[in-house]
Structure 1
Amino acid sequence: MKLRHALAFVILPIVVVLTILQGGALLTRSYMDEASLQAGTTLRLAVAALGGHLSRYEPLPALIADHDDIEALLQAPSDAELRRTANQYLKEINGLLESSDIYVMTPDGNTIAASNYETPGTFVGQNFDYRPYFQDAIAGRQARFYALGTTSLKRGYYFSSPVEVGGAILGVIVFKVDIDTIEASWRGGEYEIFVADPEGIIFMTGNEAWLYNGILPLDAPRLARTQASRRYAEAELKPLPVTESVYYGQQLMRIDGEGTTREYLRLSHYMPEADWTVNVLLDTASVRTQARTALIAILLFICLAGLGLAVLWQRRARVVERLRLQEEARNELERRVEERTADLARVNEQIELEIAERRLTEQELRKTQADLIQAGKLAGLGQMSAALSHEFNQPLAAAKTYADSAALLIDRGRVPEAQDNVRRISALVDRMASISRHLRNFARKPNEKLGAVPLPDVIADTMEIVTPRLKTADAKLVIELDEQALVVKAGPVRLQQVLVNIISNAADAVEGLDDRRIRLSARREGDLVVIEVRDHGPGVPAAIADRIFDPFFTTKGVGKGLGLGLSISYNIIKDFGGNLSVMNHPDGGAVFRIVLDVAARAQEAAE
């Protein structure tokens, strides 16, 4: 036994050392491969974005070159009226296409018309015959080129096309595209993205410190080729302090900064049509940290496994010792069994008590939930109390006026007119009774089972309750039903409460706005009925969309809501077997969507 323990203490350190040496490399390689896959996705997206952005503008120079005003100007470049017309045309096209600049050049490289002819840094009068895009276009080819503008000092991508009339090339039209928007989207992300030209000079990057730095040695031939085209104007070109290496097939790049060195996983893609190389860098610090964390976890597991083996060996030793002393320990064992049995009996009693307590707690919880639903309805009635008071006072005042008038008419012998007043008083009393009946039914605690509920009837009862609130908010409710025979599986009182809550919230949302329309629509989709309530308010902010159905969550001011209405409505719809959700409409406003089973489907399920 002692020999086994000694062997365990020798083998365990060996296993730990081998795990550190081999496992660390394997884990780092695995995490590097995973990170490379993720970076590859980012690289493909960046390449697709660049290619899509540039391909939008590629055919435009050739199309603009065929315009009559451009051809006429190049046939008579000194005509002031033709220049003015071409300048105005290029300015309008440039604004329409949201490009950077458009300009026209004569065969000697002079710019005679440009979209920026009115700006201080206009291209008109400038000569760009040294640019490759001009040289290729004047030779009859469409060309592409990226550079820093020598006049505007703004980076851009240039498309050029020859202007050909009657088989002769009269000039060149150039289309400059701004690339700052794409570059701005790269900043602040998990990855460092940059674009390098064939000379290794970084032309686009989310890290401004790397702009115009070279990842390849800036030797004399490279600098000469760059200066010949004046690609970067007078910008200072500097080498980026990089060291490249390969780690199990993955390209690594170390970049020296201000007193620090950072290592990146590098993935590249060459875009032949643009003559660019797009690079994506991922800081390997997080990858190596993950590998170290996983290695530590494995070591802890090995240590715990060793500890478990030691415990197992110790238990086996105790079993052997217990077998030797079995005869003496039998009586003790029986005594312990009896004690354990008594303990189990006590535990069973305790469990039964806990079960009874939990059942009682569940009953109290359901009662509390029902009370919350009732509180939500009463709170809604309280919020509408002022409008309801007006709704009662108005017919009361009218009834009093009709009664006084009837008395005078009777005194004067005008009985038919008095009878008409009495009929009007009766109609007002009927309306007040109807409103009172709906309010009483709405406030009553529901004790109803799910069944077939005609949706038009529930909407009619709902309108009796929410009409005063809609009048107070000066809101207009538009009801659109695909068919009048919509019957859903629900409880009428609770479904009415849900509609009252949602329509009241919609009235709150549009109160004081110019557009105070609220639209309630219902339609059948297969075995489901979809009810939508849409307002034209500010909508639901994304920050609270996930919490809007939480209990006691409200965006209203103090005293204007308990934050229970939507939570209660959500639970009611769930009890019906349906779903309640909220979204923002593309044209503005919030849309509450209720999905319920049709009654026929509920009956089939019961059978």
Structure 2
Amino acid sequence: MKLRHALAFVILPIVLVLAILQGGTLLTRSYMDEASLQANSALRLAVAALAGHLGRYEPLPALIADHDDIEGLLQAPENPALRKVANNYLKEINSLLGSSDIYVMTPDGNTVAASNYDKPGTFVGENFSYRPYFQDAVAGRPARFYALGTTSLKRGYYFSSPVEVAGKILGVIVFKVDIDSIESSWRGGEYKIFVADPEGIIFMTGAPEWLYTGILPLDGPRLARTQASRRYAEAQLRPLSVTESVYHGQHLLRIAGDGTSREYLRLSHYMPDADWTVNVLLDTASVRAQARTTLIAVLLFICLAAAAAAVIWQRRARVVERLRLQEEARNELEHRVEERTADLARVNEQIELEIAERRLTEQELRKTQADLIQAGKLAGLGQMSAALSHEFNQPLAAAKTYADSAGLLIERGRVPEAQDNVRRISALIDRMASISRHLRNFARKPNERLGSVRLSDAIADTMEIVAPRLKAADARLVVELENPDLAVLAGPVRLQQVLVNIISNAADAVEGLAERDIVLTACRRDGRIGIEVRDRGPGVPGAITERIFDPFFTTKGVGKGLGLGLSISYNIVKDFGGSLTVFDHPEGGAVFQIVLEDARTVQEAAE
């Protein structure tokens, strides 16, 4: 068994290394094939774009050669008037077609008219008899040629056609097409595209550093053929450091430069009409990186699978070991059964005694829990009764005042006013019912949904309740609203309850003082609405500021307050998502500040 495990530990790494090498080769080959298909699509697009661009201009030289002005000029090439007409015609056609240049040559190669006749570096007077496109055309054959202009030093593709009159060739017309627009579209893409002539010299490329370099050795015969046609004028030709190889049917190029070396996947297409080869290069670094990433992922999966198999094997070994131990334990147990019987009997007796004791303990615990629940109910009932007594005192006083007034009004025959007082009493009773519901939910979050409450309406309803208390204290409430349309996110009855508590406390604070004005202000602050109630009383000492909102905490004398009003108000404002704070005003007196959400802002955010 140990020998077999040792062999497994030796053979498995060898197999894994071979699998990694073979898998890496297969993955790289697969991704190379996929990249070749994508590069082939780019190659077809580039070839189609070049063929389409040049194909638009191919028939134009023959058409222009049949024009009367051109034929007339070649019949009398020294005539200034005919030259002027021909120059203007060629310039107009060149501008209309968007070509580079159009010019006319006599059979000896001299240029007698050109579209650039009025520009520096004009072709007029130049001799291009050394160009293959002229030599083919003067022999009666339409020709094509690509080269760097010897006069303009601008690359272009040349179309030439003989000008034939009455069976005699009088001259040649040449049409030069600009290829810079196509070349500029190749820059910055995923693929590097270049066009090479039969000598392997790159004359069109999206990589400017490769221009006029040779991917084939620039030996004597190649340079001689290039210089004979002066294809690249005075441009300096230089070799490109290229190493070509084949990887599973794919052609790879390694190009060195600027101290770096990069490998490319190369796809080529020969265009016989243009006599050039279009090449598309794709950097293989991304392909090889993708293959490595996939191989690493596969290896990680294999490692995880191996780890899982090892865990399963280990668990299985543990199960076997556990079964063996259980068998031994069972055998041992059978020998000790008789000895344990007496001990088990004693243990059973002890367990029965413990069970009986626990049952008694559970019964006592249930009784204690019931007593605690009853005590909690009684404490809650006492607190609720105190809260109801405190909160109903003012509405009941107001209802009593309205009832007395209604009686007097009925005696005086003023029934409509008495009916209005009765309606007010009914409204106060409704408010008292709502307050009782709020007090019942004091210890938990109420279910009442919040909505938009106009501050002006809430303050008006509050005034009806606190008016008797203000009158008793000989105090005056001054309301200063930034905007009468201010609305907050709250519950109308509970907001009124908070205002009643705070204003009533303010009335208590200023009672008996010389200055008894209470100021209520409201304004927008940073997307919220702040409500402040300021009195001219003695203020709130710093020692009790943190405790003033605690239940049953009061600074009033015995029998004058239960200490629940501010605590209830604090929790109501908190339910609204706001805050209630108190601080002393610099000029004296206390300021209770309520900050609530602006109902308009909340509605706009919801929309």
TM-score calculated relative to the size of structure 2: 0.53
Structure 1 contact 12–306 (Cα < 8 Å) conserved: no
- SS of 2:146 mapped into structure 1: strand
Cross-structure match for 1:136: 136
Larger radius of gyration: 2
Could you tell me how far apart the structure 1 residues matched to 2:19 and 2:258 are? 36
Kindly state the Cα deviation for residue 25 of structure 1 after the two structures are TM-superposed. Answer: 1.4
Could you tell me how far apart the structure 2 residues matched to 1:236 and 1:324 are? 88
Alignment length (residue pairs): 339
User: What is the one-letter code of the residue matched to 1:102?
Assistant: I
Kindly state the Cα deviation for residue 319 of structure 1 after the two structures are TM-superposed. Answer: 2.4
Cross-structure match for 2:279: 279
- Alpha carbons of 1:308 and 1:6: their partners in 2 closer, same or farther (altered >3 Å)? farther
Cross-structure match for 1:310: 310
Moved more, 5-14 or 85-94: 5-14
Could you tell me how far apart the structure 1 residues matched to 2:87 and 2:298 are? 71
2:265 matches 1:241: no
Cross-structure match for 1:214: 214
- SS of 1:199 mapped into structure 2: coil
Cross-structure match for 1:230: 230
User: What is the one-letter code of the residue matched to 2:118?
Assistant: E
- Taking the TM superposition and a 5 Å limit, the aligned residue runs for 1:282-431 are 282-324=282-324
Cross-structure match for 2:167: 167
Cross-structure match for 2:158: 158
Cross-structure match for 2:340: none
Cross-structure match for 1:9: 9
Cα deviation 1:162-188 (Å, max 9, x = unaligned):
011111111110000000000001111
Kindly state the Cα deviation for residue 11 of structure 1 after the two structures are TM-superposed. Answer: 3.8
- SS of 1:234 mapped into structure 2: coil
Structure 1 contact 16–299 (Cα < 8 Å) conserved: no
- SS of 1:37 mapped into structure 2: helix
- SS of 1:31 mapped into structure 2: helix
Cross-structure match for 2:83: 83
Kindly state the Cα deviation for residue 291 of structure 1 after the two structures are TM-superposed. Answer: 1.6
- SS of 1:121 mapped into structure 2: coil
2:88 matches 1:96: no
Could you tell me how far apart the structure 2 residues matched to 1:44 and 1:15 are? 43
Kindly state the Cα deviation for residue 298 of structure 1 after the two structures are TM-superposed. Answer: 1.9
2:127 matches 1:127: yes
Could you tell me how far apart the structure 2 residues matched to 1:16 and 1:61 are? 68
Cross-structure match for 1:465: none
Kindly state the Cα deviation for residue 323 of structure 1 after the two structures are TM-superposed. Answer: 3.3
2:185 matches 1:185: yes
Cross-structure match for 2:27: 27
Structure 1 contact 16–302 (Cα < 8 Å) conserved: no
Cα deviation 1:335-381 (Å, max 9, x = unaligned):
xxxxxxxxxxxxxxxxxxxxxxxxxxxxxxxxx9xx9xx9xxxxxxx
Could you tell me how far apart the structure 1 residues matched to 2:325 and 2:189 are? 70
Cross-structure match for 1:343: none
Kindly state the Cα deviation for residue 8 of structure 1 after the two structures are TM-superposed. Answer: 4.3
Could you tell me how far apart the structure 1 residues matched to 2:320 and 2:120 are? 100
Kindly state the Cα deviation for residue 2 of structure 1 after the two structures are TM-superposed. Answer: 5.3
Cross-structure match for 1:48: 48
Cross-structure match for 1:253: 253
- SS of 2:286 mapped into structure 1: helix
- SS of 2:57 mapped into structure 1: coil
User: What is the one-letter code of the residue matched to 1:128?
Assistant: F
Cross-structure match for 1:270: 270
Structure 1 contact 196–204 (Cα < 8 Å) conserved: yes
User: What is the one-letter code of the residue matched to 1:204?
Assistant: M
- Identity among equivalent positions (%) equals 81
Structure 1 contact 19–299 (Cα < 8 Å) conserved: no
Kindly state the Cα deviation for residue 295 of structure 1 after the two structures are TM-superposed. Answer: 1.7
Cross-structure match for 2:349: none
Could you tell me how far apart the structure 1 residues matched to 2:37 and 2:46 are? 14
Kindly state the Cα deviation for residue 195 of structure 1 after the two structures are TM-superposed. Answer: 0.5
In structure 2, runs of 5+ residues without a counterpart are: 331-448, 453-600
Cross-structure match for 1:446: none
User: What is the one-letter code of the residue matched to 2:70?
Assistant: I
Kindly state the Cα deviation for residue 32 of structure 1 after the two structures are TM-superposed. Answer: 1.2
Could you tell me how far apart the structure 2 residues matched to 1:154 and 1:29 are? 42
> Which segments of structure 1 move beyond 6 Å, counting only runs of 4 or more?
none
Could you tell me how far apart the structure 2 residues matched to 1:5 and 1:217 are? 60
Kindly state the Cα deviation for residue 268 of structure 1 after the two structures are TM-superposed. Answer: 0.6
Kindly state the Cα deviation for residue 23 of structure 1 after the two structures are TM-superposed. Answer: 1.4
Structure 1 contact 138–169 (Cα < 8 Å) conserved: yes
Could you tell me how far apart the structure 2 residues matched to 1:60 and 1:266 are? 35
User: What is the one-letter code of the residue matched to 2:18?
Assistant: L
Cross-structure match for 2:496: none
Could you tell me how far apart the structure 2 residues matched to 1:249 and 1:227 are? 36
User: What is the one-letter code of the residue matched to 2:135?
Assistant: Q
Cross-structure match for 1:112: 112
User: What is the one-letter code of the residue matched to 1:314?
Assistant: Q
Structure 1 contact 94–101 (Cα < 8 Å) conserved: yes
In structure 1, runs of 5+ residues without a counterpart are: 330-367, 375-561, 569-607
Structure 1 contact 197–276 (Cα < 8 Å) conserved: yes
Kindly state the Cα deviation for residue 325 of structure 1 after the two structures are TM-superposed. Answer: 5.1
- SS of 1:127 mapped into structure 2: coil
User: What is the one-letter code of the residue matched to 2:144?
Assistant: R
Could you tell me how far apart the structure 2 residues matched to 1:251 and 1:313 are? 48
- SS of 2:147 mapped into structure 1: strand
User: What is the one-letter code of the residue matched to 1:123?
Assistant: F
Cross-structure match for 2:568: none
User: What is the one-letter code of the residue matched to 1:78?
Assistant: E
Kindly state the Cα deviation for residue 76 of structure 1 after the two structures are TM-superposed. Answer: 1.1
Could you tell me how far apart the structure 2 residues matched to 1:9 and 1:309 are? 15
User: What is the one-letter code of the residue matched to 2:215?
Assistant: I
- SS of 2:10 mapped into structure 1: helix
Cross-structure match for 2:67: 67
Structure 1 contact 251–266 (Cα < 8 Å) conserved: yes
Could you tell me how far apart the structure 2 residues matched to 1:199 and 1:60 are? 29
Could you tell me how far apart the structure 2 residues matched to 1:9 and 1:314 are? 16
Could you tell me how far apart the structure 2 residues matched to 1:321 and 1:3 are? 21
- SS of 1:120 mapped into structure 2: coil
Kindly state the Cα deviation for residue 5 of structure 1 after the two structures are TM-superposed. Answer: 4.8
TM-score calculated relative to the size of structure 1: 0.53
